[in-house]
Amino acid sequence: IGTYGHVPDRWPYENDTPLGSHPTPGSYAPGSYTVYDKSEVWADGVDALYEDAIREHWIPATDINWAGLEPLPDDIERALCQVCTTFSQHGLSESKLLGSWEEKIAYGFHDVKDYLATWLFDAGRKVEALRKRSLANGGGMGIQGLGTMYRAWYGALKITELFVAIGVVYKSYEVVTFERLAEVLPNAVDRDLFRRLAHDSARHLEFGTRHLKYYVQHHENSREYLEHFLSRAESALSDELHHSHAEAAALAILLGGGVEKLEAGAAALRQLREDQLRKYLLILDACAVDRLPRVNPGLLNLARTQQPA
């Protein structure tokens, strides 16, 4: 309402001055903010995403029926624990990076800061829930992932690059993975867990998509910059997927239904990679970014070629 409801294209204050007000002369102390341009952080409807995140909050300790876990074959249990280990590791890096950028966003964009706070809670909840699942049914933590994907995250020099790397490139792959696991896992408790995680990740992807649309429409150098942002994020993701053999093998076992069905699992994994890439490209297309001619060849190869079982 009024000046409080108006978010300028560039925030003029370096301190904690709220929307709709002005700093008091003589008591102006600058803060640690470095992101002052609206086009670098804004997403239309971010306030609604914040409300959704608050309303859809869930608690792993009480909302998951851990007592209902049924014994699984050893190969299925170990594969599931490996997947949980891999994605809990991703969630930990996700929370660290988003948290480090949270304080840099100027105070006037508090709607975005509020939403990012819910994303941080979601990432922490993902770590908690997946680690708990790894230890809850006789399995245990798996092998640590390579983490090469994080190079694009930690190397982001602009906050939009981080949003694109995590909120668009990575999340489009994570959402499809969680949704597929929520369909195929034999245990109802596991299906419920991954359904909840997929719903959270879809909300993060929605923010990433909305921000990308705003960035394309309002940042004067968006096309040139996005070419670099997308290339770095795609390359890091491709490297991670190609060389994380423990994750690939675990997904093939889960998708195929066991070690004895690895050939079917490898085919299902290739289909998963194709579906992930298709979702990613369609999201970019909806943002007026035609990425297919320049998409990372490694991601294309994963979608087209069945990996050895």
Alpha carbons 247 and 260: distance in angstroms, whole number:
18
Query: How would residue 6 be classed by pLDDT, with cut points 50, 70 and 90?
Result: confident
Taking residue 228's Cβ as centre, other Cβ atoms within 10 Å add up to: 12
Please spell the DSSP secondary structure of 80-132, one letter per residue: HHHHHHHHHHHHHHHHHHHHHHHTTB-GGGHHHHHHHHHHHHHHHHHHHHHHH
Query: What is the Cα 155 distance to its own chain's centre?
Result: 16
Instruction: Give 105's strand partners.
Output: 35
Single-letter residue type at 48: A
Single-letter residue type at 283: I
Q: What are phi and psi of 10, to 5 degrees?
A: -135, 125
Written as six digits, the tokens of 255 are: 């998708």
CB 160 within 8 A of CB 225: yes
Give 46-91 pLDDT, tens digit per residue. 999 999 999 999 999 999 999 999 999 999 999 999 999 999 999 9
Q: How many residues does the chain have?
A: 309
**Residue 170, pLDDT score:** 98
Alpha carbons 118 and 214: distance in angstroms, whole number:
21
Give 84-125 pLDDT, tens digit per residue. 999 999 999 999 999 999 999 999 999 999 999 999 999 999
**Residue 25, pLDDT score:** 81
Written as six digits, the tokens of 203 are: 């909300």
**Residue 22, pLDDT score:** 82
Model pTM? 0.95
**Residue 28, pLDDT score:** 79
Give 138-182 pLDDT, tens digit per residue. 899 999 988 999 999 999 999 999 999 999 999 999 999 999 999
